[in-house]
Structure 1
């Protein structure tokens, strides 16, 4: 099969890390063997893939040579392991995420991929492959932050907290117009929470369309104080940007009551009394330990509870797509060349307000 496979040496990756930019392409189209599935896995013919910033970060720095890149996919089941969970049949539509960029036989930017049967979901018939492919890393990040870390009720459990009219629980979603932000807004709303978010003014209508109750312009120096004045009892936040002063902004909102800020990048320890930071890494949902840039890079332990959370989320997702909708989709043509062009757009910061999807 054809697949996009990484080729940067460790020296080049460390240089890229130090420079904060990419030298060389780092990935190329290769002919490799179709993955061999285990008894608990299914084999998927990939029809569409969604792109994430993590894809170029893996290409530039993280991925060892010979790794298949890509996480988010939608496609068709073509083979099923004898013990695979999920009641799959050959020909079923399927979507989800895999831990792309670290392994020679597992990644979404390929003609075929393998995935455990219980870690994928079945899109409804009225959803396109492009839309289905978006429920990968971004959706999983929102689920992991809200349900697995902050203890917000699951979307299929009904209204778990009083909403705006009941002066009930509120949650802050920083950077609500990102894909992870839009999914987080919807999952929190499905649980009955009042959703407070930040965005640029040009994205106010977008985040409100996806369910945000109140949106603040993060450019304003008074924005954090304004949030506190209107929502003084917020005790949980998801920082979907996790750069610059975004996490400090969240901490300032929570400082009156204390609480937890879930971050997507490491922000160190909180300097705000009573406020805790917790880093999440979406790849922990696959249930295996991994390391970046071995032997010197960070190690991540296997988390069985996170794997169970992903299985639960994807099992319930087909029933939730009316209230947890895909983000706006921008389709790129060109197959594998289109993937490379799209990843480069993400690398250059040229994507806003939509999810890039490529049909294979």
Structure 2
């Protein structure tokens, strides 16, 4: 049996500790992969920094991590389409409710993953490049295509679409989620308008965005309204802290009926990495003062506004559509770009904690990756 190790969160607010871990065989519908690269996400850092504010159901010690890429080493009953030795990328869901929180975490050498959330990758695609995708692309797909979110048409790998008849606004295009939302919306046949810092504008156009606006510009909202004038706006996806309010204004002005939110209105990075009732109370009051008026305004205007959770595609048709049908083909024919850019910050499980520290410091159009 393979010898497993994991970077474990031993207690709230603690640093990760590398220790031996059990190897778990796959159940029906599952695979075990030997991770060759993992990426870190703000959710991992938030869980470490805020204790039980998020993922209250996750016990300690905990194995965090959602983005994994590596080789298939064992296949569970009923799984088809995969073979031992396949190179894959997968969305590890051990942090979610009702999962095996230890075996299905990403920050370890061997992870159990759902076959329906796993995609084969080409031999010449580096693990460190493709591992930036799982949580980001899953969140973007859930927002764009789930019927209870924007409900857009599904994408086609390498497909050729007629001239787009409808537009989608993605506020926050240079984020991990935004970069994937742009590509998915374009692959589904929509015209995409997005926002980003000026130094990322060319990168956004390369991903398929037709127009890019500087989100920090005082005229950002009016500029976007000009670009969307006389367009049918199929939906608006707000990514990033502070994006909800301007996106709602645009939805009202353009007649868009659906607005999806990926980020809270107040950044959790403002919370100290320790237990502080005062800081939590202040954060809660700020959230309530921002979210409640937003939701009331949305309802009064007849706009369906909802937050998205990346793992929700596990329970509907969007998961298999994305991971089993679209992504393997799109990666194989190079019609899909692995974005954002991967920055390798170390090798070995001991490098994951410095990567989390780097996430807390912030990054633009970059995801931090550790090789295993």
- The one of 302, 319, 322 aligned to 2:329: 319
Map 1:132-281 onto structure 2 (within 5 A): 132-148=130-146, 149-156=149-156, 158=159, 162-163=163-164, 168-232=165-229, 233=231, 234-241=233-240, 243-244=241-242, 246-256=243-253, 257-266=255-264, 267-268=291-292, 269-272=295-298, 273-281=301-309
In the alignment, the residues of structure 2 paired with residue 270 and residue 280 of structure 1 have an alpha-carbon distance, to the nearest angstrom, of 18
- RMSD between superposed Cα atoms in Å: 1.9
Quote how far apart the aligned CAs of 1:283 are. Answer: 2.1
Aligned positions, number: 319
Pairing 1:357–2:346 present: no
- Output the TM-score relative to the length of structure 2: 0.81
Q: Secondary structure at the match of 1:67?
A: coil
In the alignment, the residues of structure 1 paired with residue 256 and residue 74 of structure 2 have an alpha-carbon distance, to the nearest angstrom, of 50
- Output the TM-score relative to the length of structure 1: 0.83
Look up the match of 1:299. Answer: none
Contact 2:7-2:350 at 8 Å conserved across structures: no
In the alignment, structure 1 segments of 5+ residues that lack a partner are 10-23, 287-303
In the alignment, the residues of structure 1 paired with residue 188 and residue 296 of structure 2 have an alpha-carbon distance, to the nearest angstrom, of 27
Give CA-to-partner distance per residue, 1:159-186, whole Å, 9 cap, x none: 56742xxxx2111001100111111111
Contact 2:31-2:76 at 8 Å conserved across structures: yes
Quote how far apart the aligned CAs of 1:278 are. Answer: 1.0
> Which range moves more in the overlay, 113-122 or 227-236?
227-236
Look up the match of 1:46. Answer: 35
In the alignment, structure 2 segments of 5+ residues that lack a partner are 265-290
In the alignment, the residues of structure 1 paired with residue 211 and residue 256 of structure 2 have an alpha-carbon distance, to the nearest angstrom, of 21
In the alignment, the residues of structure 2 paired with residue 41 and residue 101 of structure 1 have an alpha-carbon distance, to the nearest angstrom, of 16
In the alignment, the residues of structure 1 paired with residue 336 and residue 142 of structure 2 have an alpha-carbon distance, to the nearest angstrom, of 15
Give CA-to-partner distance per residue, 1:15-73, whole Å, 9 cap, x none: xxxxxxxxx43432121211232132111111111111111112233343122110001
Map 1:300-339 onto structure 2 (within 5 A): 304-305=315-316, 308-316=317-325, 317-321=327-331, 322-327=334-339, 328-339=341-352
Higher relative contact order (CA 8 A, sep 6+): 2
Quote how far apart the aligned CAs of 1:239 are. Answer: 1.0
Quote how far apart the aligned CAs of 1:114 are. Answer: 0.6
Map 1:8-157 onto structure 2 (within 5 A): 8-9=11-12, 24-60=13-49, 61=51, 62=55, 63-84=58-79, 86-101=80-95, 103-148=101-146, 149-156=149-156
In the alignment, the residues of structure 1 paired with residue 247 and residue 200 of structure 2 have an alpha-carbon distance, to the nearest angstrom, of 19
